[in-house]
Amino acid sequence: MVSELFAPALYESLFPAGISRYAVGGLLVGLGAVVIYLGTGIPAGASTFLESTLSYVSGQSRFQQYVSSRDWRVVFTLGIVAGAFVYALTFQSGLVSSGLYEPGTTGQLYDVGGFSLWLTDVQPWRLFLGGILVGIGTRIGKGCTSGHGVCGVGSASKTSIVGVITFLIVAIGTAQIVMALGVSP
Amino acid sequence: MPLIFVGGLIFGFGLGFSHMARPEVVLNFLQFEDFGLLFVMGGAAVVTGIAFALVPRLRDRAPLTGDTYGRRLKSFDRNVLIGGAIFGVGWGLSGICPGAAYASLGVGNVTILWALAGMFVGAYVQGYWRSQRAASETAAARAD
């Protein structure tokens, strides 16, 4: 790694797990969005799925406006789950390895049929309460990390860039406060 | 539809490979303990940026839908800031965002169902409230 040649201590403190797994993963996330864009012209986002799927069970006008896109959004989400599962069966289970992939030390691995699956240590109340706010915020704010962050920034959309800066700064502040309060994990 | 599934597959594999599907890794980033996540979002945005800039110049319409190629542009208003801030609190508290939550389920993290349940509750609450408000505004406009 070129960056290790200078200031290795700084590099190690900024990127203790290296950068390759992040960069490769990010390129794949972008590639997945591009595949959909090439075929359909749709710049995909992940959070509209939350509202579009509610249109199957609720007649509220906010959800019904997504009826025409709700089917492909379910397929997109199932694809994301399946893609992550393929990763779990290969790299996460150690059956496939690469110099570009650094295994992690977070959470807990557990074994199912010879494959390694993974569980978070983050407490359920944080996930649930945070999830509620994510559900409200992404829909009011017109996008999430994929819609604003990947497709919006990729479109050089000023709205998305402002959106990303907003949620990034607030998230950093929140995570720092939660950590300072001693909540862990 | 098969193409959307394949796109989702690559997208989800990338979220797993990058460890962004792990809330701990996102929290480590937000707590300044590992800045690697910048390369996930940056790397993804560079790829889409190149495609969104080039593809509309090379072709007019998408083969599967016949839609014209455009960029993802949304109008700016106060909601972008308000929603972004609410999302930021949720992301900073839980370490999970929608796409990464779906991927997290795929890597075996059944605990993430708490976050997914929360997201549906949150999406429902705001949708219900905004639908009611839109309906009452329409009714008020009719009364005028």
Torsion of CA A137, A142, A146, A147, to 10 degrees: 180
Which residue range is the domain that position B136 belongs to? 2-143
Instruction: Answer yes or no: do A101 and A77 share one domain.
Output: yes
- Total domain count, chain B: 1
- Domain count across chain A: 2
Q: Are residues A116 and A131 in the same domain?
A: no
Burial string for A26-58 (b: 16+ CB within 10 Å, else e) reads: bbbbbbbbbbbbbbbbbbbbbbbbbbbbbbeeb
DSSP-assigned letters across all residues of B66-80? -PBP--------HHH
Task: Round to whole Å and give the CA distance between A119 and B113.
Answer: 11
pLDDT score of A3: 56
Q: pLDDT at residue B39 above 60? A: yes
Mark which of A67, A87, A120 sits at the end of a domain. A120
* DSSP 8-state code for residue A152: I
Range of the domain at A146: 122-185
Which residues in chain A are contacts of B71 at CB distance < 8 A? Answer: 43, 155-157
What's the pLDDT score for residue A1? Answer: 54
Q: Return d(Cα A97, Cα A181) in angstroms, integer.
A: 38
Say yes or no: A85 and A19 in one domain: yes
* Statement to judge: residues A80 and A153 lie in one domain: no
State whether A108 and A165 are in the same domain: no
A51 touches chain B (CB under 8 A): yes
Instruction: Indicate the Cα dihedral angle A80, A83, B48, A156, nearest 10°.
Output: 30
* Shared-domain flag, residues A82 and A7: yes
Site from A22, A128, A177, A183 to mutate, B interface, most B CB atoms within 10 angstroms: A22
Q: Looking at residues B112-124, what average pLDDT do you find?
A: 98
Q: Which residues contact A90 (CB under 8 A, 6 or more apart)?
A: A96
* Residue ranges in chain A whose pLDDT is less than 70: 1-6
Indicate yes or no: CB of B71 within 8 angstroms of CB of A127: no
Task: Work out the average pLDDT over B84-98.
Answer: 97
Which residue, among B21, B1, B26, has the nearest Cα to B11 in the 3D structure? Answer: B21
Percent of chain B at pLDDT > 70 equals 99
Cα dist from A84 to A41, B52, B107, whole Å: 24, 25, 5
The CA distance from B26 to the nearest CA of chain A, in Å, is 10
Domain stops at, among A120, A138, A154 = A120
Query: What is the pLDDT, as a whole number, of residue A155?
Result: 94
Q: Is A102 found in the same domain as A13? A: yes
pTM of the shown model: 0.94
Of A102, A120, A138, the last residue of a domain is: A120
Q: Are residues A89 and A1 in the same domain?
A: yes
